């Protein structure tokens, strides 16, 4: 097996193997478990670095394995895959650190970290899938691996959240499978091909292709939380904070959005999809989701639920970008995949800090928390400003490209949607910041678990990850034009997707 073949497998193994070993560890082997977790995360980061270097230079990484005649598992680590892989690998490292701190003294940590690792393994598989079959296999594996994490606490609310989560995701999986097999029957194995697989196959019935598109998008749309399939996301907030961070920034929602990207660009091909009239409905759905999600967020008092609805809205920026025909929209959508991940994980880390340190779960309890936990609130503020699209943040960069893409595609109404969403974001984030910084704190916090020690407002492991990701939020905007930024990588992808037009 050449190095071009085993590197993708190694990336998957770097979280699978530690995960399997961790399952077997007794609860009290904390040091070994931590070491395995960190070793896996660092190894993965290193391997991903190698992949990036190779792909940038034009190397091809991939692997095929036949399971049955006509059915193959295909891995393909191309530029688009690496975008998702890198995001996942980097954020997994931070989330692992955070989770170790968050779950200190919690029960069933071996089980938690085992499934945690399986989750990331599944995400890597989704990212590097080279055909619809492989994508589906890892997509459903992600559902199965995240369920135990959602119900980890074992309370009745957790069980309920888990049931709702399963109902939505399994139903979505069934729709996805129907679409995939139908497509396989019509046009052969659904390989992800640059420029679109179906675009190159003549003589396919348009109505059938439109129906299949609807099935596929419905299937991946459940995880991507597009309206009306988003109901599971606020309910899944019963999970511990590291799980919410992982689910909402990295794994599940991004997997759904990534699926939409792959389907539109590499199964249908963006020009073919445009000619079938598929992009406008998709854009409309994305717009509805953006506005609906932000509107619902306004009325949530529970902090994590407010962030959940914010995610519903923000992930559809990616879908909007995909639906805007033209390289500018593509760049906007894809770069938001990374930027939203970084910003949202910051916000969830901070929400977790408030809950763990002071017992704060609701916005109304956050008065004056900026004095007690200034660093956390600083990170939260940066994330919130990024969501609003304030200048010098990652969010601003994505919004700029999306707006340009909208006008280039002749869909000026989308620019209004983006502005409306920014206003709504301000409407539900600014009051939080106002409360946190400018109001007086109450005499006691709901449940102070961690007491300040000098300058240290909470445990280091809880404080450092959000600070890092907040710095990243600003850094990716400040250095957007350098060749190491996510934006540069996304422009590379767009160049390869639209070879005839240069952004």
Partner 1 sequence: MSPLLDPLAWLILLPLLWATLAFVAAERHGPALALAGTGGQLLCVIVLASDVAGHGSIGHLAGGWAEPLGIRLVADGLSLVMLLLTQGVALALALYARSYFSRATPPAFWPLTGFLLAGMNALFLSGDLFNLYVTLELVGLAAVGLVAAGGGAAQIAAALRYLLATLVGSGAYLFGVALIYGSYGTVSASLLGTLITAEAPLAVWLAGGLMLTGLLLKTALLPFHFWLPPAHGGAPAPVSALLSALVVKASFYLFLRLWLGPFAALTEALPALAQVPAALGATAILWGSWRAIRADRLKMLVAYSTVAQLGYLFLIFPLLGTGALALQAGILQATAHGLAKAAMFVAAGTLIKVGGSDRVLGVAGAAAHLPVTLFAFALAGVTLMGLPPSGGFLAKWLLIDAALVAGQPWIVVVALSGGLLAGIYVFRVLRLAFRRPTAHEDVPLPQRPAALLEWTAFALAAGSVLIGLGAAPLLALIAGVQP
Which of 18, 19, 162, 386 touches partner 1 (CB under 8 A)? 162
**Rounded Cα gap, residues 395 and 411, in angstroms:** 21
Q: According to the binding rule CB under 8 A, does residue 201 interact with partner 1?
A: no
Task: Assess contact for 120 and 40: CB atoms under 8 A.
Answer: no
Q: Which is nearer to partner 1, 159 or 450 (CB)?
A: 159
Which of 174, 200, 298, 478 touches partner 1 (CB under 8 A)? 174
Q: According to the binding rule CB under 8 A, does residue 378 interact with partner 1?
A: no
Which of 9, 20, 25, 159 touches partner 1 (CB under 8 A)? 159
Of 33-41, 51-59, 173-181, 490-498, the window that binds partner 1 (rule: CB under 8 A) is 173-181
Pick from 156, 173, 188: nearest CA to 220: 173
Of 79-87, 164-172, 344-352, 355-363, the window that binds partner 1 (rule: CB under 8 A) is 164-172
Three-class SS state of 66: strand
Beta bridge partners of 74: 64
Q: Which is nearer to partner 1, 186 or 464 (CB)?
A: 186
Q: Which is nearer to partner 1, 197 or 347 (CB)?
A: 197
**Rounded Cα gap, residues 241 and 248, in angstroms:** 10
Which of 154, 410, 431, 446 touches partner 1 (CB under 8 A)? 154
- In angstroms, what is the minimal distance from the CB of 373 to partner 1? 30
Task: Assess contact for 435 and 341: CB atoms under 8 A.
Answer: no
Task: Assess contact for 350 and 390: CB atoms under 8 A.
Answer: no
Q: According to the binding rule CB under 8 A, does residue 56 interact with partner 1?
A: no
Which of 56, 141, 461, 492 touches partner 1 (CB under 8 A)? 141
Of 157-165, 187-195, 412-420, 432-440, the window that binds partner 1 (rule: CB under 8 A) is 157-165
**Rounded Cα gap, residues 220 and 197, in angstroms:** 18
Which of 30, 45, 166, 467 touches partner 1 (CB under 8 A)? 166
Q: Which of residues 18-37 bind partner 1 (CB under 8 A)?
A: 23
The helix-helix angle for 79-102 and 3-24 (nearest 10°) equals 20
**Rounded Cα gap, residues 448 and 168, in angstroms:** 36
**Rounded Cα gap, residues 127 and 121, in angstroms:** 10
Three-class SS state of 479: coil
Three-class SS state of 53: helix
Which of 35, 39, 53, 71 touches partner 1 (CB under 8 A)? 71
Q: According to the binding rule CB under 8 A, does residue 106 interact with partner 1?
A: no
Q: According to the binding rule CB under 8 A, does residue 185 interact with partner 1?
A: yes
Chain centroid, CA 438 distance in Å? 32
Beta bridge partners of 453: 456
Supply the DSSP string of 288-335, one letter for each residue: HHHHHHHHHHHT--BHHHHHHHHHHHHHHHHHHHHHS-SHHHHHHHHH
Of 61-69, 86-94, 323-331, 478-486, the window that binds partner 1 (rule: CB under 8 A) is 61-69
Q: Which is nearer to partner 1, 25 or 378 (CB)?
A: 25
Which of 140, 191, 302, 365 touches partner 1 (CB under 8 A)? 140
Beta bridge partners of 72: 66
Q: How many residues bind partner 1 (CB under 8 A)?
A: 36
Q: Which is nearer to partner 1, 171 or 392 (CB)?
A: 171
H-helix or E-strand spanning residue 35:
helix 30-56
Beta bridge partners of 76: 62
- In angstroms, what is the minimal distance from the CB of 68 to partner 1? 5
Of 85-93, 135-143, 199-207, 418-426, the window that binds partner 1 (rule: CB under 8 A) is 135-143
Instruction: Give the CA distances from residue 32 to residues 28, 79, 461, in Å, rounded to whole numbers and listed in that order.
Output: 9, 35, 17
Q: Which is nearer to partner 1, 35 or 67 (CB)?
A: 67
Output phi, psi for 281, to 5 deg: -60, -40
Q: Which is nearer to partner 1, 56 or 144 (CB)?
A: 144
Q: According to the binding rule CB under 8 A, does residue 214 interact with partner 1?
A: no
Task: Assess contact for 292 and 234: CB atoms under 8 A.
Answer: no
Q: Any idea which residue has 């407002």 for tokens?
A: 457
Which of 155, 208, 275, 301 touches partner 1 (CB under 8 A)? 155
Of 6-14, 169-177, 264-272, 341-349, the window that binds partner 1 (rule: CB under 8 A) is 169-177
Q: According to the binding rule CB under 8 A, does residue 178 interact with partner 1?
A: yes
Task: Assess contact for 276 and 199: CB atoms under 8 A.
Answer: no
By CB neighbour count within 10 A (0-12 exposed, 13-18 middle, 19+ buried), where does 453 fall?
exposed
Q: Which is nearer to partner 1, 39 or 71 (CB)?
A: 71
Q: According to the binding rule CB under 8 A, does residue 111 interact with partner 1?
A: yes
H-helix or E-strand spanning residue 76:
strand 71-76
Chain centroid, CA 86 distance in Å? 12
Q: Which is nearer to partner 1, 170 or 415 (CB)?
A: 170
Which of 10, 25, 50, 177 touches partner 1 (CB under 8 A)? 177
Which of 4, 34, 163, 210 touches partner 1 (CB under 8 A)? 163
Interface with partner 1 (CB under 8 A):
23, 66-69, 71, 108, 111, 136-137, 140-141, 143-144, 147-148, 151-156, 159, 162-163, 166, 170-171, 173-174, 177-178, 181-182, 184-185
């Amino acid at each position: 097996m050449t190095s071009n073949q085993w590197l993708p497998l190694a990336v998957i193994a770097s979280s699978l193997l530690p995960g399997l070993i961790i399952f077997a560890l007794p609860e009290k082997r904390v040091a070994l478990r931590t070491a395995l977790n960190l070793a896996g995360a660092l190894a993965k980061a290193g391997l991903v670095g190698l992949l990036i270097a190779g792909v940038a230079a034009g190397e091809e990484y991939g692997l095929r394995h036949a399971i049955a005649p006509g059915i193959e598992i295909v891995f393909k680590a191309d530029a688009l895959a690496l975008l998702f892989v890198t995001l996942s690998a980097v954020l997994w490292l931070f989330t692992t650190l955070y989770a170790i701190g968050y779950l200190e003294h919690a029960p069933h940590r071996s089980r938690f970290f085992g499934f945690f690792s399986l989750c990331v393994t599944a995400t890597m598989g989704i990212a590097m899938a080279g055909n619809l079959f492989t994508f589906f296999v890892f997509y459903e594996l992600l559902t199965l691996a995240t369920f135990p994490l959602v119900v980890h606490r074992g309370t009745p609310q957790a069980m309920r959240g888990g049931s709702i989560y399963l109902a939505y995701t399994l139903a979505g999986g069934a729709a996805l499978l129907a679409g995939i097999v139908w497509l396989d029957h019509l046009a052969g194995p659904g390989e992800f091909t640059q420029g679109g697989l179906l675009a190159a196959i003549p003589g396919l019935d348009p109505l059938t292709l439109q129906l299949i598109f609807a099935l596929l998008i419905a299937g991946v749309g459940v995880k991507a939380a597009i309206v009306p399939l988003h109901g599971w996301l606020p309910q899944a907030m019963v999970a511990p904070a590291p799980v919410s961070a992982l689910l909402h920034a990295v794994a599940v929602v991004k997997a759904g959005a990534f699926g939409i990207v792959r389907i539109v660009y590499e199964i249908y091909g963006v020009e073919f999809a445009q000619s079938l009239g598929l992009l406008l409905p998709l854009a409309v759905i994305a717009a509805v989701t953006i506005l609906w999600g932000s509107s619902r967020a306004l009325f949530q008092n529970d902090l994590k639920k407010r962030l959940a609805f914010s995610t519903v809205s923000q992930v559809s920026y990616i879908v909007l970008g995909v639906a805007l025909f033209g390289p500018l929209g593509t760049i906007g959508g894809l770069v938001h995949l990374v930027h939203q991940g970084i910003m949202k994980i910051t916000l969830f880390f901070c929400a977790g800090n408030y809950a763990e340190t002071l017992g704060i779960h609701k916005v109304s309890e956050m008065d004056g928390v900026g004095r007690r936990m200034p660093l956390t609130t600083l990170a939260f503020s940066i994330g919130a400003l990024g969501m609003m699209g304030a200048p010098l943040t990652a969010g601003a960069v994505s919004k700029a490209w999306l707006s340009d893409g909208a006008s280039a595609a002749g869909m000026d109404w989308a620019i209004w949607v983006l502005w409306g969403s920014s206003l709504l974001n301000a409407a539900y984030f600014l009051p939080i910041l106002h409360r946190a910084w400018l109001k007086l704190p109450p005499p006691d916090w709901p449940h102070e678990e961690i007491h300040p020690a000098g300058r240290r407002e909470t445990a280091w492991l809880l404080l450092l990850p959000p600070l890092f990701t907040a710095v990243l939020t600003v850094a990716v905007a400040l250095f957007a034009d350098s060749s190491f930024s996510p934006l540069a990588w996304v422009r590379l992808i767009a160049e390869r997707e639209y070879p005839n037009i240069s952004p």
